[in-house]
Amino acid sequence: NAGVTQTPKFRVLKTGQSMTLLCAQDMNHEYMYWYRQDPGMGLRLIHYSVGEGTTAKGEVPDGYNVSRLKKQNFLLGLESAAPSQTSVYFCASSYGDRPGYTFGSGTRLTVV
């Protein structure tokens, strides 16, 4: 049972490049989330999904897009990376009616 798997674990991008982060879960969770973690600011919600085919904005959605075409996958896209998007990105998933998350191990993204 893998839980929540994030790929890649590390990435360096040049300003203006695009990329997609993949999150996959095998627990049949309805809800999935993308957070970013920055020093001194904790984790902030970027986007989330309450089911296949649905997405919603969180606290800091600008510069990101997401898609949930399959229940087990939640993709986070950066269309034109900026240095301000240098961060550690966490995916999480949960059941809709039970509190608590299962987190992935994070992706460290550096934009130069």
Partner 1 sequence: AQTVTQSQPEMSVQEAETVTLSCTYDTSESDYYLFWYKQPPSRQMILVIRQEAYKQQNATENRFSVNFQKAAKSFSLKISDSQLGDAAMYFCAFARYNFNKFYFGSGTKLNVKP
Give the footprint of partner 1 on this chain (CB under 8 A).
31, 33, 35, 40-45, 48, 58, 88, 90, 92, 94-101, 103, 105-106, 108
CB 20 within 8 A of CB 76: yes
Name which of 62 and 100 has its Cβ closer to partner 1: 100
| Closest residue by Cα to residue 32 from 6, 69, 71 | 71
Question: How far apart are alpha carbons 79 and 64 in whole angstroms?
Answer: 7
Residue 79 Cβ vs partner 1, minimum distance, rounded to whole Å: 24
CA 56/CA 64 separation, integer angstroms: 12
CB of 7 to partner 1, least distance (A): 15
Provide the minimum distance between the beta carbon of 78 and partner 1 in the complex, in angstroms, as a whole number.
20
